Amino acid sequence: MSGAPLRPEVLEGPPAGLPGLDPAWSRLVPVDDAATGRPVVHHVLDTGAELERLGIAPAGTILAVHGNPTWSYLWRGLVAASLDRARAGAPAWRVVAVDQLEMGWSERTGTTRRVADRVRDLGALTDRLHLGPRVVALGHDWGGVIVSGWAIAHRDVLAGLVLTNTAVDGHAALPGALKAALAASAVGTEHTTAFLDVTMAIAHPRLDRDVRAAFRRPYRSARRREGIRDFVADIPSTPGHLSRAAVDAIAAGLAALDVPALLLWGPRDPVFQERYLHDLMRRLPHARVHRFEGAGHLLPEDADVAGAVLDWVAAPTPARGDGSASAAEPYRPLWAAVEERAEDDTAALVELRGVAERTIPWRLLARRIQDLAAGLDAVGVRPGDRVSLLVPPGADLLAAAFACLRIGAVIVVADAGLGVQGLTRAVTGARPDWIIGIPRALAAARALRWPGMRIAAAGLAAPARAALGVRHTLPEVARLGRGRALPTAPAGDDLAAVLFTSGSTGPAKGVRYTQAGLAAVRDAITARFALGPGSATVAGFAPFVLFGPAFGCRTVVPDMDVTKPATLTADALAAAVAAVDADTVFLSPAALTNVLATADDPAAFDGVRLLLTVGAPVGEPLLDRAQAVLRLASLHTPYGMTECLLVADVDREAVAAAGPGNGVLVGAPVPGVAVRIAPLTEDGRASDATTTEPGATGEIQVRAPHMLDGYDLLWRTDAAARAGTADEPWHRTGDVGHLDDGGRLWVEGRLPHVVTTPDGVVTPVQVELAAQRAGAPRAAAVGVGPRGTQQLVVVVEGGEGPLAEPALAERVRAEADRPVAAVLAVRELPTDVRHNAKIDRTRVARWATAVLAGERVREP
């Protein structure tokens, strides 16, 4: 270390009073400049001194590097959270958040620093700080590139790598935001605060005024903003750029890095867009990934990055190549029933569309699947490729899905009922390599820039093909595949599908299933309900357009809009039943409700032996009405979710015998499924302990051979939804309920919707059922106010509102048998987009809060 004195002007450091920043965390560290040999001063936030004062030895160090134009203040939440966890007794991690030279409160040396210089600067600083043998490198924005370069050069101490909204692909076309920054040059980055202002403005939600001021504080003059200017200018925007070789070397080095890795992403980033995340995933295929829906470029400000990082370092994922693959168990593929009936000329699938009827025999279906599978292989669809299926339920969807599964491609299925925004989020998040769609879907894909090469579901004229960017059509693919040999069938543990949830409890999540997992779902349903080649089924619920033929059943798609279940009428259902002599009907509660409302001839349904109402728990009143129409059918309401399609089952007789209870009876777990309860704490959260004791209300956890293989690009959600051990994984459903004395399960609502009143915890379903007994067609029980002191509010359907009729409100309070602060009314309660059955209590709670605050707001 040189003995030259430190210059007084660089010893300033951040002032006191910046929100969320403890001055005790700040350090000024003199280091010999790697380029000049003279001492320069780095500013860092460092928890090492506080851990030493507490007598806590850290398990390792998290080295956090900011980008442009932020500074170490970006990581204040991580610094604070790490100390909070250490004080609470969790394994401690020292956090060192640096200010890069020319940035934040580090020295302004007047030297232009490029990527390679900054990597060397960081190495010199970490050598000086003696970070220890286990370092997790964390970077955001261009700090991700710098810390990646450091990680590659310090493999001997590297324990893991975490990257957030960054890029190492120097050859990709620059996003418009970066082009604009480059065009603005010194005007927008140095001489004015424009670049700073724009960066602060794209936070979601908007940053507090004091926080924005804190980010700007080190950059009060043009002299102090020269580093911002140079950082922008150092973006390798041309082939001959001076930093292109350095960035390319870092990109190549990442692909060879074999340590645990985590990618955290804000998809609303106008700078580092989804393609950069996908590039990082290709380079780090073993990385865990989490997309924070609604978050953007300033991810550590938008989302709980601190919690994600600290959770991950506590149990990091295996490095590339670690662990051994388990031997593949034999399984009967989902398409097996179709292959086995390849010589059968009887009907496999019937589609009803208005007066039109389309019948597809088993022989034709089997040949179509084989031709499409071979053709898809011929046009370049490879095992592991993701194929987004944007085709309405029917023969085309069935054949395309089974063909993809046969060659090991991964089908991505998202409901059109999610709407344009929700569907865009799902499709882009699933990063498909291919899209198979109808023209309307392909037009949306073109307009919204969804990824994936396009295959049209039907033939198209040349102008339409060109306009939609279509490379192939399914008829062409089938012709190409005719007579070609099929590739080797996929293994059971290969990923087979990403199925998106309904989005009724937050953004739709992609649920991963393996080939064997999908087969296990089929086997669980067929075993429970004795379905098979002797059965014929009405698929009034979209998933069973695929599962019906997989069961070996004759299957009919009724004349309805499957994205709007309530469009199914009794006449349409009767026509579907007659088309295949159906003995089994799958319907959502909304579809069943409209069938009952339009039914006038119960005799049309006397051939139905089994009604399965799926998608949401169903109470006794609806079942009683259904029995009057489907006179000879056994009525069942299976309980499950996208993550585990069959958990429990109950019939109408058992529901009637049980009588009213705290929640909706969904029955005993089916064979192979285990259920346990994590009791609720006083603040409405699920405890760590679990029980199977009768009467304990809490979060429902399930274990089954046919449950999900995890969530797609949602590492935190996946981790939060798992309990137990790797050998005995349990899924936390997010539903609340209890087991009764007979081991049967009752569902009482969703965990996020539990109301925490001063008098105790209230689950919503028990109050909603009371409101229905009082005469409300439907109701939502929600909490208004701060957690722990919430007031219980009931919102009933069928009134002009916002206040319910006094007589009805009085009856609701009497039936609820607990304090109800207000009874409000709306014409119609909002429901989920897929089933039209699950009430969106979150929206209802927001509306009720606004109404009770005196605001004039539209109905939810």
Please write the tens of the pLDDT for every residue from 378-393.
999 999 999 999 999 9
Strand ranges of the sheet holding 356-361, from the earlier edge strand across to the other edge = 356-361, 347-353, 554-557, 536-539, 584-587, 610-613, 634-636
Confidence of residue 173 (pLDDT cuts 50, 70, 90): low
Paired with 665 in beta bridges are: 746
The rounded percent of the chain whose pLDDT value lies above 70 is 94
> Are 820 and 769 contained in the same domain?
yes
Listed range (69-78, 415-424, 715-724) with the worst mean pLDDT: 415-424
The dihedral formed by the CA atoms of 627, 629, 635 and 637, expressed in degrees to the nearest 10? -100
Rg (CA), the chain: 30
Where are the extended beta strands (E) located within 704-828? 710-711, 722-724, 729-739, 745-750, 755-757, 760-762, 779-784, 791-797, 822-826
Q: By C-alpha distance, which of 601, 596, 603 is closest to 618?
A: 596
Q: Is the pLDDT of residue 2 over 70?
A: no
> Are 198 and 55 contained in the same domain?
yes
> Are 661 and 805 contained in the same domain?
no
- The model's pLDDT over 180-214, given as tens digits with 9 standing for 90+, comes to 666 666 677 899 999 999 999 999 999 999 999 99
> Are 736 and 758 contained in the same domain?
no
Q: What is the structure's pLDDT at 235?
A: 87
Q: What is the structure's pLDDT at 389?
A: 96
Q: Is the pLDDT of residue 266 over 80?
A: yes
**Residue 726, φ and ψ in degrees, nearest 5:** -60, -35
The dihedral formed by the CA atoms of 514, 516, 521 and 523, expressed in degrees to the nearest 10? 170
Tally the domains of the chain.
3
Residue 204's H or E segment, with its range, is none
Q: Is 425 helix (H, G, I), strand (E, B) or coil?
A: helix
Please name the amino acid found at residue 594: N
> What would the two tokens of residue 620 be?
């006794």
Q: What is the structure's pLDDT at 483?
A: 94
The CB-side HSE value for 504 (13 A sphere, CA atoms) comes to 23
Contact assessment for residue 78 and residue 69, using Cβ atoms and an 8 Å cutoff: no
Asked, for residue 416, whether it belongs to a domain, the answer is no
Asked, for residue 832, whether it belongs to a domain, the answer is yes
> Are 237 and 165 contained in the same domain?
yes
> Are 219 and 203 contained in the same domain?
yes
Domain-ending residue, one of 269, 287, 314: 314
CATH code of the domain covering residue 238: 3.40.50.1820
141: left (phi over 0), alpha (psi -120 to 50) or beta: left
Asked, for residue 463, whether it belongs to a domain, the answer is no
Strand ranges of the sheet holding 510-514, from the earlier edge strand across to the other edge = 470-473, 453-456, 434-437, 386-390, 410-413, 495-500, 510-514, 710-711
> What would the two tokens of residue 324 be?
């051994």
Asked, for residue 363, whether it belongs to a domain, the answer is no
> Are 668 and 732 contained in the same domain?
yes
- The model's pLDDT over 311-331, given as tens digits with 9 standing for 90+, comes to 999 976 666 654 434 445 689
Give DSSP secondary structure letters for 555-593.
EEE-SS-TTSGGG--HHHHHHHHHHHT-SEEEE-HHHHH
What's the average model confidence in pLDDT over 617-623?
84
CA–CA separation, 623 and 636 (whole Å): 9
Asked, for residue 785, whether it belongs to a domain, the answer is yes
Asked, for residue 16, whether it belongs to a domain, the answer is yes
Q: Is the pLDDT of residue 563 over 90?
A: no
Give Cα separations from 725 to 713, 731, 831 (angstroms): 21, 11, 35
Domain-ending residue, one of 314, 333, 367: 314
CATH code of the domain covering residue 697: 2.30.38.10
> Are 134 and 235 contained in the same domain?
yes
Work out the angle at residue 266's Cα, subtended by the Cα atoms of residues 718 and 244, and round it to the nearest 5 degrees.
120
Asked, for residue 134, whether it belongs to a domain, the answer is yes
What's the average model confidence in pLDDT over 254-279?
93
Give Cα separations from 45 to 74, 79, 100, 371, 541 (angstroms): 11, 8, 12, 62, 55
CA–CA separation, 351 and 560 (whole Å): 10
Q: How many whole angstroms from its chain centre is CA 504? A: 12
CA–CA separation, 195 and 187 (whole Å): 9
> Are 740 and 774 contained in the same domain?
no
DSSP H helices, 27-135, are 48-54, 76-87, 115-129
> Are 719 and 766 contained in the same domain?
no
CA–CA separation, 16 and 23 (whole Å): 6
Domain region containing 707:
655-749
Domain-ending residue, one of 282, 314, 346: 314
Q: Is the pLDDT of residue 617 over 80?
A: no
Asked, for residue 165, whether it belongs to a domain, the answer is yes
- The model's pLDDT over 819-855, given as tens digits with 9 standing for 90+, comes to 999 999 999 998 765 555 678 899 999 999 999 999 9
Q: What is the structure's pLDDT at 317?
A: 63
> Are 824 and 731 contained in the same domain?
no
> Are 726 and 770 contained in the same domain?
no
Contact assessment for residue 726 and residue 697, using Cβ atoms and an 8 Å cutoff: no
DSSP H helices, 59-110, are 76-87
Where are the extended beta strands (E) located within 248-301? 261-265, 288-291
> Looking up tokens 């310090």, which residue turns up?
154
Listed range (327-341, 353-367, 704-718, 795-809) with the worst mean pLDDT: 327-341
Q: Is the pLDDT of residue 508 over 90?
A: no
What's the average model confidence in pLDDT over 291-301?
95
CATH code of the domain covering residue 774: 3.30.300.30
